[in-house]
A = this chain, B = another copy of it.
Amino acid sequence: MAIDHLDERIIVLLAREPRIGVLEMSRRLGVARGTVQARLDRLQSNGVIRGFGPEVDPAALGYPVTAFATLQIRQGQGADVRAHLATVPEVLELHTTTGTGDMLCRLVARSNADLQRVIDRVVGFDGIVRAATAIVMENPVPLRIIPLVEQAARDRDGRE
């Protein structure tokens, strides 16, 4: 779906000040409250806005170490490996990919030493042939969406 400039401003405003209410948003954006409400409903039912879940910082929970592991899977064991990794709390996300590895997962751990335990648990499963781990040192660009939203709104403006 395409989003217009008003949608963009709503999302950006929400991203910057999540606690803001619909009424305050309508004031800031200079439109009627009902309009903002209708746009928000639409954005959510379209799936553009999935939700407003709390963003939890693993580091603050005691898991300051992040790593990415590339896994090679034995043919036909994909489903089992997926199920196995889903049971490991330190696996924050898992993707199946093309390229060198078959899967890529994001891990967190309490320390570099603890990372060994996590990796052992991850790879201690029959279907996994090999794992290559890259430890994250810095995170110059934390997960962000605003630039993309702005780009999407520009594209739409340009096309219509």
Contacts and interface: CB of A to CB of B under 8 A. Distances in A.
Interface of A: 1-3, 11, 14-15, 18-19, 46-63, 66, 68, 70, 82, 85-86, 88-101, 104-106, 108, 132-145, 147-152, 155
A62 B54 CA distance: 25
A135 B99 contact: yes
Contacts of A151: 89-90
Instruction: Name which of A18, A62, A108 has the most chain B CB atoms within 10 A of its CB.
Output: A62
A134 B104 contact: yes
Nearest to A140: B82
A99 B140 CA distance: 17
B14 A54 contact: yes
Nearest to A7: B61
Q: Do most interface residues of chain A lie in helix, strand or loop, or is the interface mixed?
A: mixed
A98 B3 CA distance: 38
Given A98-B135, A134-B101, A92 B148 contact: yes
25 contacts: A14-B53, A18-B51, A18-B53, A48-B56, A49-B54, A52-B53, A53-B55, A61-B149, A62-B155, A68-B68, A68-B95, A70-B134, A88-B147, A89-B150, A89-B151, A92-B145, A92-B148, A93-B139, A93-B141, A94-B140, A94-B141, A97-B136, A98-B134, A98-B135, A98-B137
Given A47-B60, A96-B136, A96-B138, 13 more contacts: A3-B61, A48-B60, A53-B55, A82-B140, A92-B143, A92-B145, A93-B139, A93-B144, A95-B140, A98-B137, A99-B134, A100-B134, A104-B136
